[in-house]
Amino acid sequence: MIFRRSRHSDEISVMNRRSALERVVLTIVTILVVLFFMLPIFWLVTTSFKFGREAFAIPPRWLFFEFTLRNFQEVLATTKISQYLLNSIIVSTGATILSLALGVPAGYAIARSQSRILNSSAYFFLILLMVPPIAMLIPFYLIMRDLRLLGTYASLIILDTVFDAAFVVWMMRSYFADVPKEMEEAALVDGASRFAAFWRVALPLSIPGVVAAAIYVIIFSWNDFLFALMLTSPETKTIPLGILASFSAVEINWGKMAVMCLFAIIPALVIALFLNRYFVQGATMGATKG
């Protein structure tokens, strides 16, 4: 009996040591992965405070270099950084609001529909997402030209919404499919309309999915370069086009470009910090199902 207890204790001790070793290895691997993906951000931050000659010094000077704020001063003094950021905010906000207004109700309708044809139509939105954006650029350019919308915020918002709303429909269809129908049926029995059941029952339960979809739309619209390059004017250029201004036929101002990139990623970092909980929950519950 004593021998069995001793053997059982030894097995528990071995399992505890193995579990502790696995946690240590997992922690080390996680740190290495995070450092790997944060390396470009670290390069941007350090380059933004370097003189041009030190940006590509050999060997690289990662920590000990001559510190300067000259790049920030040049960006603030010689570029329209505030206008670029404002334009990006306007376009991203407009595309997000329009995409959610169209995509969320459409996703709910498809998820609750009993029609095979309507359920199959969800794959149309998936196919639309697979179409290369450049394939739709020329037709949309001609349409916007005929509508006299070239160079306006509306042209870029509409074109971004075409792709973004399709993604929202596909994602929210999967999310609404996981919301219990019994709660909506109870509301319908109590006299609520179908719209009231959607607005008061299904939508509040799907807020994490809506937030996750909104974050995706904001990121897609904020980072859009191709459509912005073709459809905007000098007054409506977004921040990706502002970064392009760092390149010239004479030189590439890496310090200036790094500063512009920092201004471009700060909004995304703020959104990630404040909405991370909703983003993870919505992405794992909605986007991976269906």
Same domain, 24 and 87: no
Compute the average pLDDT of residues 173-195: 81
Structural domain contains residue 69 = no
Same domain, 274 and 191: yes
pLDDT greater than 70 at residue 8: no
Same domain, 14 and 139: no
Same domain, 25 and 105: no
Residue with tokens 């910090």: 273
Structural domain contains residue 199 = yes
Same domain, 36 and 85: no
| 134 or 1, greater pLDDT | 134
Cα separation values, 183 from 14, 104, 115, Å: 49, 19, 21
Structural domain contains residue 176 = yes
Structural domain contains residue 149 = yes
Query: Using CA atoms, how far apart are residues 200 and 171, in angstroms rounded to an integer?
Result: 20
Same domain, 18 and 101: no
Same domain, 121 and 43: no
Structural domain contains residue 175 = yes
Same domain, 130 and 27: no
Query: Using CA atoms, how far apart are residues 110 and 122, in angstroms rounded to an integer?
Result: 7
| 163 or 283, greater pLDDT | 163
| 249 or 241, greater pLDDT | 241
| 210 or 64, greater pLDDT | 210
Compute the average pLDDT of residues 265-280: 74
Compute the average pLDDT of residues 93-114: 90
Residues 148, 151, 152: CA angle, nearest 5 degrees: 80
Structural domain contains residue 67 = no
pLDDT greater than 60 at residue 280: no
Contact at 8 Å (CB) between 202 and 185?
A: no
Structural domain contains residue 220 = yes
Structural domain contains residue 126 = yes
3-state secondary structure of 247: strand
pLDDT greater than 90 at residue 125: no
On average, the pLDDT of the chain sits at 81
pLDDT greater than 70 at residue 161: yes
Query: In total, how many domains does the chain have?
Result: 2
Structure tokens at 127: 């196919």
Compute the average pLDDT of residues 2-20: 60
- pTM value is 0.80
Same domain, 154 and 237: yes
Compute the average pLDDT of residues 37-50: 85
Same domain, 120 and 217: yes
Task: Identify the domain containing residue 12 by its residue range.
Answer: 2-48
Q: What is the pLDDT of residue 191?
A: 79
Residue 234 pLDDT level (bands cut at 50, 70, 90): confident
Residue 2 pLDDT level (bands cut at 50, 70, 90): very low
Residue 201: Cβ-neighbour burial (10 angstroms; 0-12, 13-18, 19+): buried
Q: What is the pLDDT of residue 154?
A: 92
pLDDT greater than 50 at residue 289: no
Same domain, 202 and 141: yes
Residue 278 pLDDT level (bands cut at 50, 70, 90): low
Same domain, 12 and 148: no
Beta bridge partners of 252: 247
Query: Using CA atoms, how far apart are residues 184 and 176, in angstroms rounded to an integer?
Result: 11
CATH of residue 176's domain is 1.10.3720.10
